[in-house]
């Protein structure tokens, strides 16, 4: 069957389509049906089945003949280490660690925050948590203590599992002081922590509160606890329009069924083959395609601790692909832009045998045609853009390589996957003609594996996603659909920006800037950046009485954002202005600021933290009557 037939088979009978996909999962009790309608626009999948995530990711492969197959390859150019963990070893380590958690009181439904770098123990922690029916919430290591504290207060975890440190190419990031700081700030106090000591920077442990990972690793093993299909496997926080992140919930059964389906149909890998997503477990790509998808499907996954360039050079990706015989590779366009900048003619690519590689997948931000063309020419395999969100957990639109390779249209992540009816709507909620720009919305119900609601925030879920267009889920993206049904994702319709494939809220950065004592008013916009896609740029109006050097205030604001949100915000530049451009009703004209800044930014060599460019932006605003010092 080709794509059209598969998509039509889903449209004709979604219930049968998903029940058939569910047969690939090991159930303790199979579900009686797929879709459960809860009313009010809320849906769940496979709710009355009983199942365990960890069993399907690990134990069933050990029983099914893959015990000696490598499950996880750890490749860490920043530490010079490599490790291979078979499914049998993974089972032993996960079962023991889960036993250690259970012995310390972690039970079904308890939340456990995981704050770790890219080490295999991050996956072991995730799998151990779901093994005993607890719910994990992984927090990206590039977030600062305050962001971690916000998540602690929302998820109210009984425990936090962390590492003593993470390793960035230019520095060691001690996680333990950040963790201690977060627990200090948070209202909710977890009962205990577990710390993986890293040789590069071990941490001091508080006896009785901070447990060494090694203690739990030696615990008596426990088995997999079957949970209801609609039991949450995890919560993953993502940026919304305010400083309060959205806790996306992932239910157990739909997650299993959907991700397992994508491994062959989209990524075209068979069990036993090596699949690599170069992301981080702190992001949804890391959840779905470093940890769960490949393991559900019996693949070998790679945990890569490093950067595409500089660890040690722009050939790292190709070395890993060649050395471990990666068949399907997934990364963000920004990573390719970083490599392309260092190695435009692909000299490093020529050094490696990449004959095993079948395809490259890009997501997380708009894939610019230049980058796709470069990758296609250099790698000589299909380079497939696909579009998704933390909320959906896997691709809404893709080119389903395992079904058939559809013609690639540059600038388009191709066509909707089964489960998704994607419409482009006008402001009144009516579908627009092909080629017309509108809000991208997905007809309800969303398919299995997507978010059923937000943690602790059902009203926010309804307001953010369901209110604008009755009967639809609002994606927050704007775009067009062409005559052939190909989608083009053009921009966000909210205040979310995308920095190096990382989703950030300008509202959250504004909240931090506004807390500076000399800042009277501020705005943050995303401006185009040749490497990271977008970068945040601040506009600051200082208090009337503030007799301060504006450069000093900007420097303090940059530090404040780094300390409060974290280095991942990449907030490096701000312009001090007299007034913000506003409409008569007082609404900030962000569009005006974006177009002024983008006009300048396009000329830039690499980043906007160049004083000359900031001066130009200020002058441009001045000519409109808004800029000041
Ligand atoms: N822990 C602590 N700090 C971290 C971190 C982590 N896990 N991850 C990133 N940071 C820091 C970086 O060191 C950097 O700090 P700096 O300002 O002191 O240099 C800052 O956060 C910004 O990080 P990043 O945006 O990753 O920029 P970079 O310059 O280090 O690397 C790329 C740029 C393009 C190479 C890198 O962003 C990349 O490979 N991106 C891939 C995108 C990705 O994984 N997306 C996930 C969705 S697919
Ligand atoms: P995240 O939740 O971090 O995965 O970010 C999701 C957002 O990233 C989407 O809503 C889009 O705005 C953007 N995005 C992700 N993938 C793509 C893509 N392939 N093309 C364009 N934008 C994308």
pLDDT tens column, 439-478: 999 999 999 999 999 999 999 999 999 999 999 999 999 9
Nearest residue by C-alpha to atom 41 in ligand 1: 335
444 and 580 share one domain: no
Q: Please say if the pLDDT value at position 627 is more than 60.
A: no
Helix (H, G, I), strand (E, B) or coil at 627: strand
450 and 511 share one domain: no
Q: b/e per residue, 244-278, with b = 16+ CB within 10 A? A: bbbbbbbbbbbbbbbbbbbbbbbbbbebebbbbbb
Do 569 and 535 meet the contact criterion of CB atoms below 8 Å apart? no
What was the pLDDT predicted at 529? 84
Mean per-residue pLDDT over the chain, rounded: 94
What was the pLDDT predicted at 407? 95
**Residue after which a domain boundary falls, among 479, 513, 540:** 479
Distances (CA, A) of 629 to 112, 541, 589: 48, 10, 20
Q: For 156, left (φ over 0), alpha (ψ -120 to 50), or beta? A: left
Rounded-to-10 torsion of CA 333, 339, 342, 348: -150
DSSP summary character for residue 568: G
Centre of ligand 2 from the C-alpha of residue 474, in Å: 13
Element at 458 (helix H, strand E)? helix 458-461
CA–CA distance, 550 with 545 (Å, rounded to integer): 13
Helix (H, G, I), strand (E, B) or coil at 110: coil
Triad 564, 565, 570: Cα angle to 5°: 125
Is the CB–ligand 1 distance for residue 76 below 6 Å? no
The fraction of the chain above a pLDDT of 90, given in percent, is: 86
Q: What is the pTM of this model?
A: 0.95
What was the pLDDT predicted at 578? 85
Do 91 and 62 meet the contact criterion of CB atoms below 8 Å apart? yes
CA 128 from centre of chain: 21
Centre of ligand 2 from the C-alpha of residue 326, in Å: 24
Decide if 484 is inside a domain.
no
What was the pLDDT predicted at 155? 98
Is the CB–ligand 1 distance for residue 173 below 6 Å? yes
Nearest residue by C-alpha to atom 1 in ligand 1: 142
Q: What are phi and psi of 170, to 5 degrees?
A: -100, -5
Do 146 and 185 meet the contact criterion of CB atoms below 8 Å apart? yes
Q: b/e per residue, 524-547, with b = 16+ CB within 10 A? A: bbbbbbeebbbbbbbbbbbeeeee
Decide if 254 is inside a domain.
yes
* Average pLDDT for 32-54: 98
Helix (H, G, I), strand (E, B) or coil at 615: helix
How does residue 428 score in pLDDT terms, banded at 50, 70 and 90? very high
* Average pLDDT for 103-128: 98
How does residue 604 score in pLDDT terms, banded at 50, 70 and 90? very low
Burial of 333 (0-12, 13-18, 19+ CB in 10 A): buried
DSSP summary character for residue 306: S
Q: For 589, left (φ over 0), alpha (ψ -120 to 50), or beta? A: beta
Do 78 and 172 meet the contact criterion of CB atoms below 8 Å apart? no
For 159, the token pair is 């425990």
Nearest residue by C-alpha to atom 11 in ligand 2: 365
Is the CB–ligand 1 distance for residue 503 below 6 Å? no
How does residue 579 score in pLDDT terms, banded at 50, 70 and 90? confident
Centre of ligand 2 from the C-alpha of residue 491, in Å: 9
Q: Which ligand is nearest to the CA of 141?
A: 1
Q: Please say if the pLDDT value at position 607 is more than 90.
A: no
**Residue 535's domain is classified under what CATH number?**
3.30.300.30
**Look-up of token digits 């496979």:** 46
In tens, the pLDDT along 214-224 reads 999 999 999 99
Q: Which ligand is nearest to the CA of 167?
A: 1
472 and 591 share one domain: no
Centre of ligand 2 from the C-alpha of residue 150, in Å: 23
Give 9-25 as a DSSP string. Answer: HHHH-HHHHHHHHHTTS
Task: Residue 162: name the closest of 195, 202, 113 by CA.
Answer: 195
Decide if 97 is inside a domain.
yes
Is the CB–ligand 1 distance for residue 609 below 6 Å? no
**Residue after which a domain boundary falls, among 479, 512, 529:** 479
**Residue 80's domain is classified under what CATH number?**
3.40.50.12780
Decide if 142 is inside a domain.
yes
What was the pLDDT predicted at 605? 41
What was the pLDDT predicted at 592? 81
Among 363, 413, 488, 502, the mutation site with the greatest number of ligand 2 atoms within 8 A of its Cβ is: 363
Q: Please say if the pLDDT value at position 611 is more than 80.
A: no
Is the CB–ligand 1 distance for residue 141 below 6 Å? yes
In tens, the pLDDT along 243-278 reads 899 999 999 999 999 999 999 999 999 999 999 999
CA–CA distance, 493 with 224 (Å, rounded to integer): 42
Centre of ligand 2 from the C-alpha of residue 369, in Å: 16
CA–CA distance, 205 with 42 (Å, rounded to integer): 44
Decide if 331 is inside a domain.
no
**Residue after which a domain boundary falls, among 448, 479, 510:** 479
Nearest ligand 2 atom to the CA of 489 is: 21
How does residue 600 score in pLDDT terms, banded at 50, 70 and 90? low
According to DSSP H, which parts of 36-144 are helical? 53-54, 60-61, 87-103, 120-131
* Average pLDDT for 146-173: 96
**Look-up of token digits 């948070």:** 186
Task: Residue 320: name the closest of 351, 364, 297 by CA.
Answer: 351
| 143 vs 600: which has the higher pLDDT | 143
For 446, the token pair is 């969303």
Is the CB–ligand 1 distance for residue 135 below 6 Å? no
CA–CA distance, 322 with 325 (Å, rounded to integer): 5
What was the pLDDT predicted at 601? 56
DSSP summary character for residue 221: P
In tens, the pLDDT along 330-389 reads 999 999 999 999 999 999 999 999 999 999 999 999 999 999 999 999 999 999 999 999
Q: Which ligand is nearest to the CA of 412?
A: 2
Helix (H, G, I), strand (E, B) or coil at 572: coil
402 and 534 share one domain: no
What was the pLDDT predicted at 76? 98
CA–CA distance, 558 with 358 (Å, rounded to integer): 43
* Average pLDDT for 415-435: 96
* Average pLDDT for 472-489: 97
Q: Which ligand is nearest to the CA of 281?
A: 1
How does residue 429 score in pLDDT terms, banded at 50, 70 and 90? very high
CA–CA distance, 514 with 564 (Å, rounded to integer): 12
Q: Which ligand is nearest to the CA of 383?
A: 2
Decide if 345 is inside a domain.
no
Give 412-475 as a DSSP string. Answer: ---EEPTT--EEEE-TTSPBPPTT--EEEEEESSPPTTS-SSBTT-HHHHIIIIISSSTTEEEE
Centre of ligand 2 from the C-alpha of residue 311, in Å: 27
Centre of ligand 1 from the C-alpha of residue 280, in Å: 10
| 182 vs 600: which has the higher pLDDT | 182
The domain total for the chain is 2
Do 48 and 228 meet the contact criterion of CB atoms below 8 Å apart? yes
Centre of ligand 2 from the C-alpha of residue 362, in Å: 10
Q: Please say if the pLDDT value at position 506 is more than 90.
A: yes
Decide if 328 is inside a domain.
no
515 and 470 share one domain: no
525 and 471 share one domain: no
Decide if 358 is inside a domain.
no
How does residue 624 score in pLDDT terms, banded at 50, 70 and 90? low
Nearest ligand 2 atom to the CA of 501 is: 3
450 and 586 share one domain: no
What was the pLDDT predicted at 406? 98
* Average pLDDT for 60-86: 98
CA 68 from centre of chain: 31
Q: Please say if the pLDDT value at position 54 is more than 50.
A: yes
Among 570, 606, 607, the mutation site with the greatest number of ligand 1 atoms within 8 A of its Cβ is: 570
What was the pLDDT predicted at 625? 65
473 and 511 share one domain: no
81 and 39 share one domain: yes
What was the pLDDT predicted at 361? 98
443 and 508 share one domain: no
Dihedral sign from CA coordinates of 344, 347, 351, 356: positive
Centre of ligand 2 from the C-alpha of residue 389, in Å: 5
442 and 533 share one domain: no
Strand-pair partners of 43: 37
Centre of ligand 1 from the C-alpha of residue 45, in Å: 35
Query: Ligand 2: residues whose CB is within 6 Å?
Result: 238, 284, 363-367, 385-390, 413, 475-477, 489, 492, 498, 503
Q: How far apart are the first and last CA of the chain?
A: 64
Domain containing 432 equals 3-306+386-479
468 and 552 share one domain: no
CA–CA distance, 541 with 309 (Å, rounded to integer): 38
């Amino acid at each position: 069957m080709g794509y059209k037939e598969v998509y039509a088979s889903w449209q004709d009978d979604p219930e049968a389509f998903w029940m058939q996909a569910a047969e690939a999962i090991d159930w303790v009790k199979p579900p009686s049906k797929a879709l459960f309608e809860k009313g009010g626009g809320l849906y769940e999948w496979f709710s009355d089945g009983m199942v365990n995530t960890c069993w399907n990711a690990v134990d069933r492969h050990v029983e099914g003949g893959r015990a000696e197959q490598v499950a996880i390859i750890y490749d860490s150019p920043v530490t010079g280490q490599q490790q291979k963990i078979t499914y049998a070893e993974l089972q032993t380590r996960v079962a023991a660690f889960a036993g250690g958690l259970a012995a310390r009181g972690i039970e079904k439904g308890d939340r456990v925050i995981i704050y770790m770098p890219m080490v295999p123990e991050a996956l072991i922690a995730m799998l151990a948590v779901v093994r005993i029916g607890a719910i994990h919430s992984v927090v990206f290591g590039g977030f600062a203590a305050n962001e971690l504290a916000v998540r602690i207060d929302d998820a109210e975890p009984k425990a936090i599992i962390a590492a003593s440190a993470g390793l960035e190419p230019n520095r060691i990031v001690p996680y333990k002081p950040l963790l201690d700081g977060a627990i200090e700030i948070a209202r909710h106090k977890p009962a205990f922590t577990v710390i993986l000591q890293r040789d590069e920077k071990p941490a001091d442990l508080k006896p009785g509160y901070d447990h060494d990972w090694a203690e739990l690793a030696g615990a008596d093993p426990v088995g997999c606890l079957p949970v209801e299909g609609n039991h949450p496997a995890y919560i993953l926080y993502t940026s919304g329009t305010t400083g309060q992140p959205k806790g996306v919930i992932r239910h157990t059964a739909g997650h299993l069924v959907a991700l397992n389906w994508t491994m062959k149909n989209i990524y075209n890998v068979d069990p036993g083959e090596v699949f690599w997503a170069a992301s981080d477990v702190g992001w949804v790509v890391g959840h779905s395609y470093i940890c769960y998808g490949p393991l559900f499907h019996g693949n070998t996954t790679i945990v890569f601790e490093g950067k595409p360039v500089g660890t040690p050079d722009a050939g790292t990706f190709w070395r890993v692909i060649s050395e471990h015989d990666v068949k399907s590779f997934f990364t963000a366009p920004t990573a390719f832009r970083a490599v392309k900048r260092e190695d435009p003619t692909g000299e490093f690519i020529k050094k490696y045998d990449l004959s095993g590689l079948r395809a490259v997948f890009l997501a997380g931000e708009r894939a610019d045609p230049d980058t796709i063309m470069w990758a296609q020419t250099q790698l000589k395999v299909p380079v497939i853009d696909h579009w998704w969100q933390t909320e959906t957990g896997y691709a809404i639109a893709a080119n389903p390589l395992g079904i058939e390779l559809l013609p690639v249209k540059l600038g388009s992540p191709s066509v909707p996957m089964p489960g998704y009816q994607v419409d482009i709507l006008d402001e009144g909620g009516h579908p627009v003609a092909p080629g017309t720009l509108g809000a991208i919305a997905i007809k309800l119900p969303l398919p299995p594996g997507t978010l059923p609601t937000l943690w602790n925030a059902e009203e926010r879920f309804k307001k953010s996603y369901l209110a604008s267009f009755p009967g639809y889920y609002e994606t927050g993206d704007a775009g067009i659909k062409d005559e052939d049904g190909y989608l083009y994702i053009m921009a966000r319709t909210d205040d979310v920006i995308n920095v190096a494939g990382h989703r950030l809220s300008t509202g959250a950065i504004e909240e931090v800037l506004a807390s500076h004592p000399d800042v009277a008013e501020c705005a943050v916009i995303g401006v185009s950046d040749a490497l990271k896609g977008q970068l945040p740029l601040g506009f600051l109006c200082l208090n009337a009485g503030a007799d301060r050097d504006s450069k000093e205030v900007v420097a303090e604001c940059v530090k404040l954002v780094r300390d409060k949100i974290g280095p991942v915000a990449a907030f490096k530049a701000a312009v001090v202005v007299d007034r913000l451009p506003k409409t008569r009703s007082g609404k900030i004209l962000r569009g005006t600021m974006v177009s002024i800044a983008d006009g300048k930014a396009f000329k830039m060599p690499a980043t906007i933290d160049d004083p000359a460019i900031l001066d130009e932006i200020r002058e441009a605003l001045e000519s409109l009557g808004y800029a000041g010092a």
